[in-house]
Amino acid sequence: MKRDIRTLRDLTRADMDHVLSLAATLKQERGEGRLRPLLAGKKLALLFQKPSLRTRATFDIGMTELGGSTLFLGPDEVQLGTRETPADCVRVLDRLVDIIAARTFAQEVVEELAEHGSVPVINALSDLYHPCQVLADLLTLKESKGRIEGCHVVFVGDGNNVAHSWLLAAEKLPLRFTLACPEGFEPDREILESAVAAGADVAVTHDPAAAVDGADAIYTDVWASMGQEAEAGDRQTAFAAFQVNRELVARASDDVVVMHCLPAHRGEEITDEVIEGPHSVVFDQAENRLHAQKALMVWCLSGD
């Protein structure tokens, strides 16, 4: 059966544990100078509608380290939805490659690729979800805190695609997730209600100071993502009280870790003092995109 990662709902709890365990093993082996060609001869298509640093670099390097090769197809090559439909595109690519990672705007593009393709499709980012980022975050959380179970992760900022994927992670894992956002910037209602119905320990508040009290991890992201540039001025006003700074971090637990999926707008959602400070694991997260995605590709193609 084909394995797609459209959202984290495509992984069971056992699948997620397996991927995170394999990611930790592959990271350790890489640090020891051992690279196993687990995907020798396999071909990955990187189908991107949006520019990227971490996503492109980590998938490309990851597949190379696993013994495979990559084909990058940027927005000018394919022009998904205008020059070529996602369905037609994937029906060509699945005769040429073994797996596809798609970085898109609309989640519907990912769904259409997965529906019409015969090879696994990984959501490398959409406007609605960012499963690869949160898998890397979970690996980072386990490394830095020694556990995932019982951790309280507080996301300070917009109810965006990263927050949505954390809500889905909380459906599967025994962690507590709180989103502190301004009024009007709550997460998608259906996603939140689904997480609550699944028994996830999740909450939404408009008080960042109260939310981070005793938190194990404070997470933030840019206030205006790609495609929201026209709203940047209004968002800066709305989010002014939601900056992750020294005062906010001081309200959390003494060993709190500070997370950011990058790129960061320093001085806006997070201060230089915090992102460069002793609590920051931001660049560990960036590196862990490599290890988590390597494990995810192996899982998608291994069938075990």
81, pLDDT greater than 80: no
Confirm whether 89 is a catalytic residue: no
Q: Which residues contact 147 (CB under 8 A, 6 or more apart)?
A: none
Confirm whether 291 is a catalytic residue: no
Stretch 122-144: mean pLDDT, rounded? 98
228, pLDDT greater than 90: no
| From 181, 289, 291, 300, active-site residue | 289
Q: How far apart, in whole angstroms, are the C-alpha atoms of residue 114 and residue 7?
A: 11
179, pLDDT greater than 80: yes
> 71 pairs with which residues across the strands?
45
Write down the pLDDT at residue 304.
61
Q: What is the DSSP string of 234-294?
A: HHHHHTGGG-B-HHHHTTS-TT-EEEE-S---BTTTB-HHHHTSTTB-HHHHHHHHHHHHH
Q: How far apart, in whole angstroms, are the C-alpha atoms of residue 8 and residue 12?
A: 8
Q: Higher-confidence residue: 234 or 304? A: 234
Write down the pLDDT at residue 215.
98
Confirm whether 255 is a catalytic residue: no
Write down the pLDDT at residue 80.
83
Handedness of CA 71, 121, 60, 219 (dihedral sign): positive
**Count of alpha carbons within 13 angstroms of residue 66, beta-carbon side:** 31
Confirm whether 289 is a catalytic residue: yes
Q: Higher-confidence residue: 57 or 226? A: 57
| From 6, 221, 293, 300, active-site residue | 221
Confirm whether 103 is a catalytic residue: yes
| From 89, 132, 261, 300, active-site residue | 261
| From 94, 98, 132, 133, active-site residue | 133
Burial of 265: CB neighbours in 10 Å, binned 0-12, 13-18, 19+: middle
Confirm whether 261 is a catalytic residue: yes
103, pLDDT greater than 80: yes
Write down the pLDDT at residue 155.
98
Question: In 3D, which of 44, 55, 127, 49 has the Cα closest to residue 81?
Answer: 49
Identity of the amino acid at 24: A
Give per-residue pLDDT as tens, 9-47.
999 999 999 999 999 999 999 999 999 999 999 999 999
219, pLDDT greater than 80: yes
Q: Report the share of the chain in percent with pLDDT over 90.
A: 91
205, pLDDT greater than 80: yes
Identity of the amino acid at 27: K
Q: How far apart, in whole angstroms, are the C-alpha atoms of residue 220 and residue 292?
A: 20
Can you say how many angstroms the Cα of residue 10 is from the centroid of all Cα atoms in its chain? 14
Write down the pLDDT at residue 25.
98
Write down the pLDDT at residue 231.
77
Can you say how many angstroms the Cα of residue 52 is from the centroid of all Cα atoms in its chain? 13
Q: What is the DSSP string of 154-178?
A: EEES---HHHHHHHHHHHHSS-EEE
Q: Calculate the average pLDDT of the chain.
A: 96
| From 6, 103, 152, 235, active-site residue | 103
234, pLDDT greater than 90: no
Write down the pLDDT at residue 39.
98
Write down the pLDDT at residue 296.
98
Stretch 221-247: mean pLDDT, rounded? 87
Q: Which residues contact 304 (CB under 8 A, 6 or more apart)?
A: none
pLDDT band at 227 (very low <50, low <70, confident <90, very high): low
| From 3, 130, 152, 260, active-site residue | 130
All domains of the chain, ordered by start, with CATH? 8-130+289-302 (3.40.50.1370), 133-285 (3.40.50.1370)
